[in-house]
Chains A and B, each alone.
Chain A
Amino acid sequence: MVEKGIWKDWRLHAIVFGLVILTEAIGTHQFSVGPGVILLLPMLYAMVIGLILFFTPVVKNKQSKNAEPLIVLGVTLLIAKIGVIIGPSIEGIIEAGPALLLQEFGNLGTIFLALPVAVFLGMKRESIGMTHSIAREPNVGLIMDKYGFNSPEGRGVMAIYIFGTVFGAIFLGLISGFLATITPLHPLSFAMASGVGSGSMMAAASGSLIAAFPALEQDIIAYAGASNLLSLSTGLYMSIFIGLPLTEKMYNALSKRKESKKNAVKKGA
């Protein structure tokens, strides 16, 4: 997993060090959009500035490559921290077990929300790959395995994977605080929802919640962390047995309806 000598890439570490000092010094800022609040966290600035630096001579291709294993190691530290928060609150987690388990089915929400829109926008079988799950690594593997790399489904899942890689954390970080302040749902429900199965997305989504509801920090981290672990371990099976078959069925129904509507219009004209 880790290539040798990445620790010697002082340039990369110095850039990140500088980014951390700068962004933590700027601190968290928030602004209101209607009744909701959008939170801007240091981690979000750090990601955006890091991305911008990639296009300057400061970051070379070597740094960009070397940065990947550090994400993995950083996430293990983050998970370790979440572990020692879950430990002392284990009773609460077990008590909330039913909610934690059942909310995993909420991940299927993408099919009901995104699939109809994808079909409406004129997408064909791409939409199956796109909307069957949140498209992290295990799901990309599943689709490639089932339909092949050059299939429309494969192209679809890659599109969401790429969007998620580049903007997933930023997007979830922005909407989680906003949705938690604008909807009547409890922040702890959103904490559970933050565990979508990606370390950086979970960090950004739960980070916004912590910034908006600092009194609930420990519970937010414990719920988000536990839910993320569940998503990591059950997510793939959820897709194999429920998500993907359901997406296929709904896609067939939706595209048939679209076809018959089209024909009806033609006949009418």
Chain B
Amino acid sequence: MTLMNNIQEWILLLLIFGVISAIGNWIGYGILPLAAVPGMIVLILVSLAGLILQKLLKVNIPSVAYVALIGIIISLPGFPGSETVVRWTTEVNLLALATPILAYAGIAIGRSWTDFKKLGWRSVVVAMLVMVGTFLGSALIAELVLRMQGII
């Protein structure tokens, strides 16, 4: 599949995703879809640029790294137009983007359910502790350092 085909498919899927989250953004967070459109378009363009960059530069870096970097750069204080970028994208709530992601994820993980059922209770206990351990471990160190620095 050529890059052009890829780009076309990405644009269509990002637009579908954008429309769905703009409606969620309205219902859940009271932001009118029209107000969210400019910000959503900015986010779609940033995503698209990151996805294309990842294909063009044949370095083994995940596309989200490019997406994050582009997003950070265009919103840095002093970058031309950054205030507009920030003002527009503020109208797109982060949680409104997360809801459709997890809706798609719920539908997708159904196929892992058979594997999941095979896990015994011991594995489930250990899995939960793995998550708690990672989460609490990081929080504890962050707390310590942030306090030492006087940030919190």
Contacts and interface: CB of A to CB of B under 8 A. Distances in A.
A, B co-complexed: yes
Contact of A98 (B101, B116, B134, B149): B149
Nearest to B71: A83
Interface in A7-61: 7, 12-13, 15-17, 19-21, 23-25, 27, 41-44, 46-55, 59, 61
Interface string A145-173: 00000000000001110111111110110
B102 A43 contact: yes
Given A188-B142, A210-B94, A164 B27 contact: no
A232 B17 contact: no
Given A71-B101, A172-B131, A46 B71 contact: no
Interface string B94-124: 1111111111111111111101100100111
A102 interface: yes
A235 B92 CA distance: 30
Interface residues of A, number: 129
Interface in B26-65: 27-29, 42-44, 46-47, 50-51, 62-65
Given A172-B135, A227-B138, A84 B75 contact: yes
B143 A185 contact: yes
Given A27-B28, A103-B145, A186 B140 contact: no
Name which of B72, B113, B115 has the most chain A CB atoms within 10 A of its CB.
B72
A6 B108 CA distance: 14
Q: Identify whether the interface residues of B are mostly helix, strand, loop, or mixed.
A: helix
A135 interface: yes
Contacts of B142: 99-100, 102-103, 106, 188-190, 192-193
A221 interface: yes
Given A65-B108, A81-B94, 20 more contacts: A4-B9, A16-B103, A20-B21, A23-B103, A49-B103, A54-B111, A75-B101, A82-B71, A86-B72, A87-B71, A103-B139, A109-B137, A112-B137, A113-B132, A122-B122, A159-B126, A169-B102, A185-B139, A190-B142, A232-B65
28 contacts: A4-B5, A12-B107, A20-B23, A24-B28, A41-B95, A53-B107, A65-B111, A67-B104, A73-B10, A80-B50, A80-B71, A82-B71, A87-B73, A87-B75, A87-B76, A88-B82, A95-B151, A99-B151, A104-B138, A107-B134, A110-B131, A118-B129, A133-B134, A164-B131, A165-B112, A193-B137, A207-B94, A227-B138
Interface of A: 1-7, 12-13, 15-17, 19-21, 23-25, 27, 41-44, 46-55, 59, 61, 63-65, 67-71, 73-88, 90, 95-96, 98-100, 102-114, 117-118, 121-123, 127, 130-131, 133-135, 158-160, 162-169, 171-172, 175-176, 179, 185-186, 188-190, 192-196, 199-200, 203-205, 207, 210-211, 221, 225, 227, 229, 232-233
